[in-house]
Amino acid sequence: MDRNLAIEAVRVTEMAAIASARLMGRGTKNESDQAAVDAMRRAFDALHIDGTVVIGEGERDEAPMLYIGERVGKREPGVPEVDIALDPLEGTNLCAYGRPGAISVVAMAGKGGLLNAPDTYMEKLAVGPRARGAIDLRKSPTENLRAIAERMKVYVEDLTVVILDRDRHADLINEVRHAGARIRLIEDGDVAGAISTCFEDTGVDVLMGIGGAPEGVIAAAAIRCVGGDMQGRLVPRNAEEIARAKKMGITDIGKIYTAEELAQGEVMFAATGVTSSDFLKGVRFFGGGCETHSVVMRSKTGTVRFVQSRHKFDKKPGYAP
């Protein structure tokens, strides 16, 4: 879990982003996702780790690679054992239809450091470092917005809240509007939405709403690296999902998890933009190569590095389309 591994993780997200960006706007979300999965799996083969995928593309019978439980990396004697949470293409629809905000992400922690979250929903509340300690999922959205505004020394009307544009959020959207905060509705990609709360240049202050539980763990790893704050609570849709969560070791379904409980110990996070957004630029192709924009973060140091890379396909045949 050293700084060299953090930089190596960027190579993994870069390869996945480049592969999926080739199919941007073609309307083939499954093909875009598969391209990212294939590229990311190849990239992991070069990492000097003994890694176990704890959040990935699904169960082994659902996914041929990067499935939950798959071991990746060179797995040589003496290499670090790490748990891995990944999403080769977060925002498949965004990539498939050429919309902003698709990214490729990887989070790593020491063995047992990442919550083995079931494939169900999670209610999430995330803020940046300036509002750390002000959030409480037990309280209403209005109460949280007032507490966040007070901590940040601004008015509620100054806050911008990111919410997934889903029918299930109709009441939440109405309450946030009534409270006076501004809203940015996003089609997909609440990992990027959560991370955006930690960077003032994005203009985003809060993430609220229900999204995927696995994505919640990935977002928590990133938020921990930059000193933000996040809480999450599982929202199973049926008895089958409750049973699955309990099988994965979660006994208290209604537990409110902190970011530190979702991603424990020393963690690192890397992401590469697939399509451009306020947070990361997307992949730009030119003759014989491409340019990528990534971010890599470590909780141990709190360092955030933005990496702009130019790749030449004749020098890096593995990156070529």
Find the largest Cα–Cα distance for the chain: 58
25 is in an annotated binding site: no
- Residue partners of 208: CB distance under 8 A and separation at least 6: 124, 125, 141, 144, 161, 162, 163, 172, 176
56 is in an annotated binding site: no
Q: Is the separation of the CB atoms in 118 and 140 below 8 Å?
A: no
* CA–CA separation, 101 and 273 (whole Å): 7
50 is in an annotated binding site: no
Token pair for 205 = 């202050």
215 is in an annotated binding site: yes
Token pair for 17 = 């982003």
177 is in an annotated binding site: no
158 is in an annotated binding site: no
160 is in an annotated binding site: no
Quick one: which of 5, 14, 23 has its CA closest to 301?
A: 5
202 is in an annotated binding site: no
91 is in an annotated binding site: yes
Instruction: Say which DSSP state 79 is in.
Output: P
The alpha carbon of 151 is separated from its chain's Cα centroid by a whole number of angstroms, namely: 25
Token pair for 282 = 């997307």
Token pair for 256 = 């409110």
121 is in an annotated binding site: yes
Question: Strand 206-212 vs strand 160-164: parallel, antiparallel, or unpaired?
Answer: parallel
* CA–CA separation, 9 and 102 (whole Å): 18
Q: Is 35 exposed, middle or buried (0-12, 13-18, 19+ CB in 10 A)?
A: buried
Instruction: Say which DSSP state 80 is in.
Output: P
167 is in an annotated binding site: yes
62 is in an annotated binding site: no
Quick one: which of 62, 64, 59 has its CA closest to 38?
A: 64
Give the SS3 label for residue 318: helix
Binding residues are 33, 57, 87, 90-92, 121, 166-168, 188-190, 212, 215
Which residue ranges are tagged as binding site for substrate?
Answer: 90-92, 121, 166-168, 188-190, 212
**Residue list, annotated binding site for Mn(2+):** 33, 57, 87, 90, 215
